Amino acid sequence: MKSMISKLKSHGWGYLFLLPALLIMVLFNFYPIIWSFIVSFNKTKAIEIKQAGLFDIPGKFVALDNYMQVLKNDLFIKSIGNTAYFAIIFIPLTLILSLLLAVYINKKFRGVNFFRTVLFIPYIISVISSSLIFLALFNSESGFINAVLKQFNIDGPNWLSNEWLAMPVIAIMSIWRRVGYFMLMYLAGLQNIPTSLYEVAEIDGATPFQRFRYIVVPLLSNITIVIFVLLLRDVLTVFQEVYVMTGGGPGNSTVTVPFLIYNEAFNYLRYGTAAAMSYILFMITVVVVIFQNKFTKKKHSTR
Amino acid sequence: MGQSKSRGKTITNYVLMAVILLIFTIPLYWLVIGSVKTNMEFNQVPPTFWPKQFELGNYLTAWKQLDFKTAFINSSIVTVVCTVLNIITGVLAGYVLSKKNVFGGKLILGMIIATLIVPPAVLLLPLYFIITKMGMYDSLIALVLPFAANAYTIYFMKQYIDDIPNELFEAASIDGIGEVGMMMKIVFPLITPALATVGLINFVGNWNSFTMPLVLLRSDEKFTLPLKQALLANATDVNEWPLILAATVLSIIPVLIVFIGSQKMFVKGIMEGAVKG
């Protein structure tokens, strides 16, 4: 009995310490997630949002109506395609480049620290700034890229006004910003691989490529999973770069799902469909994460 | 023979390094030289790779048009307050979730971690709604309070505190040190590297934050730097790109200074985080 009281006493401290974080998480994370979920089944007018109280759910229940509308919306389907197009360029290239760079600087030579510092700098530059930089870089007339192409007598394309090229430019910028960060994560993994493994492989006559393929890649698979999930998160947040660089154009070719959700909610004030879109995005994320977990678990158990 | 081979290897290493560095720094180079060109030179075809004339006046104009001082102060307030609150709430919660066997602790931790896979777009509309209803729309508090605790920080802190041996707390408890004392005398001193990393990551994230300020602010005098920068870029004539680039350099400099001053801790933290994760 006495011990229970003392336990409660010490736990009281625990709850008190937990309280600030928990209050904020509940009010600004858990509650919004639920609110959004309910609103995604409601038809909600701007005026109803204005008049509702903090814990009211505005609008009228319309079941799956919003979802039906969203799934019939061509622009929404297109935005999923655009986002996938971005992901197909962005994810594999970032993974491969950061791994290769990590392998490259996992050697001791002078200048390595300088090298990784410089490669890390793009990561601290805001998306707004890097978007503006890349607009200047890929400008069809005054841009660096086309100026260099001109030196080789190539007429560079009009990058950001081309339906197929605008998204890759955004992807290249995103890769540039993140490679330094993920390179460091991979480097940490590499430095944790015991050198004896390499020595044994060398005695067995493994070529550098074989060592890479059969030691480095499998032993880094855990970090690859973490990076993959982080990259996926990045894919599902592409908003600012579109807002600044293309405004969704040309011909809606860079309208991503988050950009569309923003427009739907804050320009067209269609809250119900905006919420439905965000939940479809959420479901896609969950499916990918589950699929990814299953896939990696299987791989582990067969080894 | 062997020596010349290794020397050849070193040379290849350095050549490769130079090439990679060159490719990576081209955007930054183009930013800086673009920011000191005259409007006329910037728009000339083909462009020049080195400015014929340095127009530093762009920086003066950018400073004025960004309303740099106000925007800088707003950004600093939001960033510093948010980062400090985040660390405090994160350490307190991380400590409890790691060392205290509180009822429901596992569930709470699980729910907190689960929020990490929620796409930020899901939160955009409800946060706008909640902030408006709480009467905080168009205030700097709106940019601080919702972000004063986050799942990543809490989880990171918990992981770090897991590594502190329980014996330390037991010994302290025998010496009659209370919970607050444990935080001040054991937890905080032992997790300083984690504090630095999380602090820096939060700092950079908050400093560069754009979407929430865009949604939650309305009046000019409350705008943060990225918001000002985007608005300036929107409002500026295409012929005045050097001005936009100068504004961009100005916005990057503060966070660059913080980064250069602390990059060792930064690098160490990310690498440790990678292995732990």
CB-based contact A18 B21, cutoff 8 Å: no
Residue A60 dihedral angles phi and psi, to the nearest 5° = -120, 135
Give the model's pLDDT for residue B206: 94
CB-based contact A121 B256, cutoff 8 Å: yes
Q: Does B93 touch chain A (CB under 8 A)?
A: yes
Residue with tokens 């102060």: B73
The count of other CB atoms within 10 Å of the CB of residue A237 is 17
CB-based contact A111 B14, cutoff 8 Å: yes
Ranges of chain A whose pLDDT falls below 70: 1-11, 296-303
Strands A42-43 and A60-61: antiparallel
- Name the closest residue on chain B to residue A275, using Cα atoms: B122
* All residues at 6 or more sequence positions from B66 whose CB lies less than 8 Å from its CB, including other chains: B225, B228, B229, B232, B247, B250, B251
CB-based contact A28 B211, cutoff 8 Å: no
CA distance A36 to chain B (A): 6
List all residues of chain B from 177 to 216 with a beta carbon under 8 Å from chain A: 179, 204, 207-208, 210-211, 214-215
Give the model's pLDDT for residue A303: 36
Give the model's pLDDT for residue B1: 45
- For B118, the closest of A33, A104, A266 (CB atoms) is A33
Reported as half-sphere exposure (CB side, CA atoms, 13 A), residue B227 has a value of: 23
CB-based contact A49 B129, cutoff 8 Å: yes
User: What kind and span of H or E run contains B35?
Assistant: helix B2-35
Give the model's pLDDT for residue A10: 61
User: How many helices (H) and strands (E) would you count in chain A?
Assistant: 16, 2
Give the model's pLDDT for residue B225: 95
> pLDDT over 90 for what percent of chain B?
58
Substitution target in A126, A155, A175 with the highest count of B β-carbons within 10 Å is A126
Ranges of chain B whose pLDDT falls below 50: 1
Sort residue A251 into left (φ over 0), alpha (ψ -120 to 50) or beta. Answer: left
- Determine the Cα–Cα distance for residues B215 and A267; give it in Å rounded to an integer: 11
Q: Measured between beta carbons, which residues in chain A are less than 8 angstroms from residue B151?
A: 25, 29
Radius of gyration (C-alpha) of chain A in whole angstroms: 25
Q: Measured between beta carbons, which residues in chain B are less than 8 angstroms from residue A35?
A: 126, 129-130
Substitution target in A31, A142, A293 with the highest count of B β-carbons within 10 Å is A142
Give the model's pLDDT for residue B5: 63
CB-based contact A265 B127, cutoff 8 Å: no
* CB pairs < 8 Å spanning A and B: 272
